[in-house]
Amino acid sequence: MPLVNSKELFEKAYKEGYAIGAFNCNNMEIVQAITEAAKECNSPVILQVSAGARKYAKPVYLKKMVEAAVEDTGLPIVLHLDHGADFEICKDCIDGGFTSVMIDCSSKPFEENIAITRKVVEYAHAHKPYVTVEAELGTLAGIEDEVKVEHGAESYTNPDQVEEFVKRTGVDSLAIAIGTSHGAYKFRPEQCTRDPKTGVLLPPPLRFDILEEVSKRLPGFPIVLHGSSSVNQEYVKIINEHGGALKDAVGVPEDQLRQAARMAVCKINIDSDLRLAMTAGIREHFEAHPDHFDPRQYIGDGRAYVKQLVKHKITDVLGSNDKI
Ligand SMILES: [Zn+2]
């Protein structure tokens, strides 16, 4: 099976009340961990590439690695551009064989966002085969590679704008802002309460009322959540117990993501959690084996942790297991 776009995957996910994981990848071990986990769970999967990943690994390596994963697993895999900043980068990815792109003009005025998104959609939909396009309305706080928004400068999606936006752009899916945030420090301590027993921060709940309102106005239309790592504390603990210093790292609770996946959310983006799992595996390995210097040994442990995490996400959070 060749790479697929997200259209049919989202239609099925919407109908059956689950979401597809969109995992960011930067190197071979991460690609393998994600796709081997998906294979064992019999789940479709989206591998996404940010501008930072393209710079780090070069687009051609990423594309070939994802193609290798398709050949190795036989899974329906989408190769998606995460946060395309302008028409040119989207065009470059479409021409280069990506099956899905995101154009992110969410920081621009509404009319400008519509105009640029429309231009990308026209190009992507004219491509054979059809490339799907995701756009964004509203802005998330936090840092993701080259996308940086200060806490306090974020804005929730306005449900009054979504119908007009989707109609005028022809976009295939829409990322909305309902309180998720990029990075491993999603919320400032003052936005949270602290669990008196563990000292771990408990974040404010997602704005399900906005999601509900958006899905009422766009029946059957796939919604996307960015910044949806949960910053699983078991990995933070391993990192901190093996020489790391991640204080007050906090994410979106998994039960809330599960709830969103049952609603109109068809794609959930997870990046920081993979980074934490990889780091936990490597830190643990180095502390146990200070004499090791073969990268296969420690990166191999990191890969095993990422795979274990992705299986957990697919089965317990996204609900996309056994959906092929
Ligand atoms: Zn994002």
100-103 and 77-84 as β-strands: parallel, antiparallel, unpaired? parallel
**CB half-sphere exposure, 284, CA atoms < 13 A:** 18
Higher-pLDDT residue of 187, 275 = 275
**Residue 292 pLDDT > 90, yes or no?**
yes
Q: Can you give the pLDDT at residue 298? A: 98
- Separation of CA 287 and ligand 1 centre (Å): 33
Q: Is 271 a catalytic residue?
A: no
Mean pLDDT, residues 29-55 taken together: 97
Q: Can you give the pLDDT at residue 147? A: 74
- What residues have their beta carbon closer than 5 A to ion ligand 1? 144, 226
User: Where does the pLDDT of residue 154 fall: very low under 50, low under 70, confident under 90, or very high at 90 and above?
Assistant: confident
Matching CATH number, 7-318, of 3.40.50.2020, 3.20.20.70, 1.10.760.10, 3.30.70.20? 3.20.20.70
Q: Can you give the pLDDT at residue 185? A: 86
**Residue 274 pLDDT > 80, yes or no?**
yes
User: Where does the pLDDT of residue 269 fall: very low under 50, low under 70, confident under 90, or very high at 90 and above?
Assistant: very high
Question: Which residue ranges make up each domain of the chain?
Answer: 7-318
**b/e for 98-116, b at 16 or more Cβ within 10 A?**
bbbbbbbbbeeeeeebbeb
The tokens of 159 are what?
């449900």
Are the beta carbons of 107 and 117 closer than 8 angstroms?
no
Mean pLDDT, residues 96-103 taken together: 97
- Separation of CA 82 and ligand 1 centre (Å): 7
Active-site residue, selected from the candidate residues 82, 145, 172, 301: 82
- Separation of CA 265 and ligand 1 centre (Å): 14
**Residue 145 pLDDT > 80, yes or no?**
no
pLDDT tens-digit map of 192-227? 988 888 888 888 899 999 999 999 999 999 999 999
- Separation of CA 33 and ligand 1 centre (Å): 21
